[in-house]
Amino acid sequence: MTTSNDFFVIKALEDGVNVIGLTRGTDTRFHHSEKLDRNEVMIAQFTEHTSAVKVRGNAHIQTSHGDMINNEED
């Protein structure tokens, strides 16, 4: 089972933040795109289907590895 118990949290700091799930396995492709508006929070895990996540836009991202603010200026 490749689902980890860890959750990661993404809080949108602007409208239209995209959280894109990328597939696990030999083929790495987009399989899900979630659009968050300002102050919306998504709580998710890595699963047998999802091995990576791409976040586009200004957002606060929290994982077990740390905390970061994804900002246009950075």
Binding stretches for ligand TRP (CB under 6 A): 19, 21, 32, 34, 44-45, 47, 49-50, 53
CB of 73 to ligand TRP, least distance (A): 25
49 vs 60, beta carbon nearer ligand TRP: 49
Between CA 51 and CA 39 the distance in angstroms is 25
Between CA 21 and CA 45 the distance in angstroms is 10
Between CA 47 and CA 6 the distance in angstroms is 10
58 vs 73, beta carbon nearer ligand TRP: 58
14 vs 34, beta carbon nearer ligand TRP: 34
CB of 51 to ligand TRP, least distance (A): 9
Q: Counting Cβ atoms within 10 Å, is residue 25 exposed (0-12), middle (13-18) or buried (19+)?
A: exposed
